[in-house]
């Protein structure tokens, strides 16, 4: 096993560094780090009689996405408040929690990491994280592309201290960097004052987020140590943040380079060796084909974000037309062995529009953006190589994004929003629900004014007492959404046809409906998920729906019901029709 791992690590090092580095020495150091981890960890070993892939995920898996301080109360650390909320409200609804970066940070709500191994002192400590991990599986971010300019590595770089002088990427400001793909419209190079004068360093995302130099193997070793540390803290999922930008090579887009893919494969190799139950997830907010490339040949990410889903679901509901969503879903290629999708409709970031390049006509994208402006949202721009700018993401809460159609607001906001969640929950993969979807959070314009960042619109910090009051009052949108969405999640977790590996078929009959058929791995359960994406009542005689079987029951009905002669779908209603 050790010899095979060493050979694998050597192969990956060669794919990353070629002849520029001593790849055999790099592989030995990676193996050494893994062996040290294996010698100190108390993690249990899997039962080798059962294939790991069957233990990685099931229909029981539901992930909640949240910041460590999304809910606060006086005189209590936010991570403790979060832990209590999860146990009191969601113990039978979710089984996993993605706590967005909970480390000391200087900007971007956690993604400018000052110290990768410490918990933000205003939020709690590792004991509070462990308390959550006792009841829920953890997803932890490895913010791998960049660190804060307040990180000690960067401070030592400014001081010209070894070994940190090669941890960052200096570029002559006269260099042509126009080919580099930018997710922002800020300058790529940012000037910094060092003990050797002014240097210009690579900063893909902001002047406070300085990119790390993975051409230096010492940086790779640093992140493998952090990676193993998170696994030791109980992480079941490791999310590789902004990993697509990892490797830099002037004269290219610096996006999805072969060295980046090889580095992700190496991280996969590491968990294969030390913790094969851990799931590696890549976060790559890019067009669909590029996103799917991170599956590799079943040797890279176990899971990729389904980035096309949020904008296409929102478009379908805003337009009252499921055709683009249906065509996209129908064209999704079969999943590679041991891989699946992470499905979501909202997250801490905005709703990306890059993933629908080539899927939605530009006019449709612009119409959607115009609607979101009317509903109180913003749009973030990215810089193009020709000096122009184009939309990168829409910044709005999903709940307020559903307040109407392109004709304007209406009274179907709750129903339309719940339809978006039901569609996501039926898709093949593991569902992830953002806490502000669960709580039907409205746009937080005050937060935007406080921070000056449009993404803050979807990063509300709830006062616990206010939130509990809203959830306890059945006439509030928050209570209505929370009650119905948690009910859907409980029902979903009991359906074998929703196992991530269960077959998915897309059925096309008209543009009013989005229809999926899911079939359990043993073939016993067949489940049809039909969503009305319009504001009209649809009456569908079963005789015209030849794909449906007799005797199907609607799992989402509040009272047991068997569909007989006609299926009636009210505006934005979803039914899950099952033969069992």
Domain membership of residue 273 (yes or no) is no
Domain membership of residue 566 (yes or no) is yes
Q: Facing residues of 148 across strands?
A: 209
44 pLDDT band (50/70/90 cuts)?
very low
Domain membership of residue 546 (yes or no) is yes
Mean pLDDT, to the nearest integer, of 510-527? 97
DSSP string, 261-306: HHHHHHHHHHHHHH-TT-EEEE---S-HHHHHGGGTTTTS-SEEE-
Domain membership of residue 284 (yes or no) is no
Mean pLDDT, to the nearest integer, of 266-281? 97
How many domains are there within the chain? 1
d(CA 446, CA 399) in angstroms, rounded, equals 17
545 pLDDT band (50/70/90 cuts)?
confident
pLDDT at 54 over 70: no
Angle between helices 464-472 and 477-492 (to 10 degrees): 80
Domain membership of residue 471 (yes or no) is no
- 508 or 388: whose pLDDT is higher? 508
pLDDT at 52 over 60: no
Mean pLDDT, to the nearest integer, of 3-26? 96
d(CA 522, CA 61) in angstroms, rounded, equals 19
pLDDT for the residue numbered 286 = 87
CATH number at residue 515: 2.60.40.1180
384 pLDDT band (50/70/90 cuts)?
confident
524 pLDDT band (50/70/90 cuts)?
very high
Catalytic residue status for 241: yes
Q: Are strands 209-211 and 146-148 parallel, antiparallel or unpaired?
A: antiparallel
Q: What is the pLDDT of residues 180-193, one digit of tens each?
A: 988 888 899 999 99
Q: What percent of the chain has pLDDT over 70?
A: 98
Domain membership of residue 264 (yes or no) is no
Give the pTM: 0.96
pLDDT at 526 over 60: yes
Domain membership of residue 565 (yes or no) is yes
Q: What is the pLDDT of residues 90-108, one digit of tens each?
A: 999 999 999 999 999 999 9
For the chain, what is the radius of gyration of the CA atoms?
Answer: 24
What average pLDDT does the chain have? 94
Q: What is the pLDDT of residues 399-430, one digit of tens each?
A: 999 999 999 999 999 999 999 999 999 999 99
Active-site entry in 128, 241, 269, 444: 241
d(CA 389, CA 380) in angstroms, rounded, equals 10
Q: Facing residues of 315 across strands?
A: none
DSSP string, 148-191: ETTSHHHHHHHTT-TTGGGSB-B--TTS--TTS--SSSS-SEEE
d(CA 394, CA 130) in angstroms, rounded, equals 35
Domain membership of residue 560 (yes or no) is yes
41 pLDDT band (50/70/90 cuts)?
low
Residue span of the structural domain in which 512 resides:
503-578
d(CA 199, CA 357) in angstroms, rounded, equals 36
């Amino acid at each position: 096993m050790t010899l095979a791992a060493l050979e694998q690590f050597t192969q990956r090092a060669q794919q990353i560094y070629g002849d520029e580095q001593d790849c055999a020495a790099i592989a030995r150091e990676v193996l050494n780090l893994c062996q040290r981890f294996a010698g100190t960890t108390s993690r249990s070993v899997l039962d080798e009689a059962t294939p790991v892939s069957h233990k990685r995920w099931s229909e029981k898996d539901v992930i909640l996405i949240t910041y460590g301080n999304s809910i606060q109360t006086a005189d209590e650390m936010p991570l403790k408040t979060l832990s209590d909320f999860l146990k009191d409200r969601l113990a039978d609804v979710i089984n996993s929690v993605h706590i967005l970066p909970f480390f000391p940070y200087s900007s971007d709500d956690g993604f400018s990491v000052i110290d990768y191994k410490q918990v933000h002192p205003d939020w709690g400590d590792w004991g509070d994280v462990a308390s959550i991990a006792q009841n829920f599986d953890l997803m932890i971010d490895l913010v791998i592309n960049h660190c804060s300019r307040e990180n000690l590595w960067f401070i030592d770089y400014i001081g010209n201290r070894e070994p940190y002088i090669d941890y960052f990427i200096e570029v002559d400001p006269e260099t042509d960097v126009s080919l580099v793909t930018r997710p922002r419209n800020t300058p790529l190079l940012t000037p910094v004052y060092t003990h050797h004068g002014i240097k210009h360093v690579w900063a893909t995302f902001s002047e406070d987020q300085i990119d790390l130099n993975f051409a230096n193997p010492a940086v790779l070793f640093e992140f493998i140590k952090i990676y193993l540390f998170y696994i030791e803290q109980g992480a079941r999922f490791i999310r590789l943040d902004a990993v697509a930008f990892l490797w830099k090579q002037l004269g290219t887009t610096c996006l999805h380079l072969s060295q980046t893919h090889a580095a992700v494969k190496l991280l996969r190799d590491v968990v294969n060796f030390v913790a094969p139950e851990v799931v590696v997830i890549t976060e790559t907010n890019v067009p669909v084909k590029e996103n799917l490339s991170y599956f590799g040949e079943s040797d890279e990410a176990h899971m990729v974000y389904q980035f096309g889903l949020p904008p296409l679901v929102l478009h379908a509901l805003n337009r009252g037309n499921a055709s683009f969503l249906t065509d996209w879903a129908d064209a999704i290629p079969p999943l590679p062995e041991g891989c699946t999708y992470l499905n979501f409709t909202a997250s801490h970031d905005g709703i990306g529009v890059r993933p629908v390049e080539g899927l939605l006509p530009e006019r449709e994208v612009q119409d959607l953006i115009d609607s979101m402006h009317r509903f109180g949202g913003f749009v973030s721009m990215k810089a193009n190589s020709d000096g122009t700018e184009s939309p990168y993401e829409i910044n709005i809460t999903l709940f307020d994004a559903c307040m109407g159609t392109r004709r304007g607001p209406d009274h179907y906001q709750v129903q339309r929003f719940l339809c978006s969640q039901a569609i996501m929950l039926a898709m093949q993969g593991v569902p992830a629900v953002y806490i502000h979807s669960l709580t039907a959070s409205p746009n937080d314009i005050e937060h935007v004014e406080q921070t000056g960042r449009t993404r803050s619109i979807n990063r509300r910090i709830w006062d616990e007492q206010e939130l509990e009051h809203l959830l306890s009052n059945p006439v509030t949108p928050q209570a209505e959404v929370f009650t119905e969405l948690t009910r859907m999640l409980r029902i979903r977790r009991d359906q074998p046809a929703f196992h991530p590996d269960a077959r998915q078929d897309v059925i096309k009959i008209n543009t009013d409906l989005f229809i999926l058929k899911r079939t359990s791995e043993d073939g016993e359960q067949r489940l049809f998920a039909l969503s009305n994406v319009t504001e009209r009542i649809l009456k569908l005689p079963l005789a015209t729906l030849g794909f449906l079987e007799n005797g199907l029951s609607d799992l989402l009905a509040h009272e047991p019901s068997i569909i007989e002669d006609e299926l009636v779908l009210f505006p934005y209603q979803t039914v899950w029709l099952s033969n069992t």
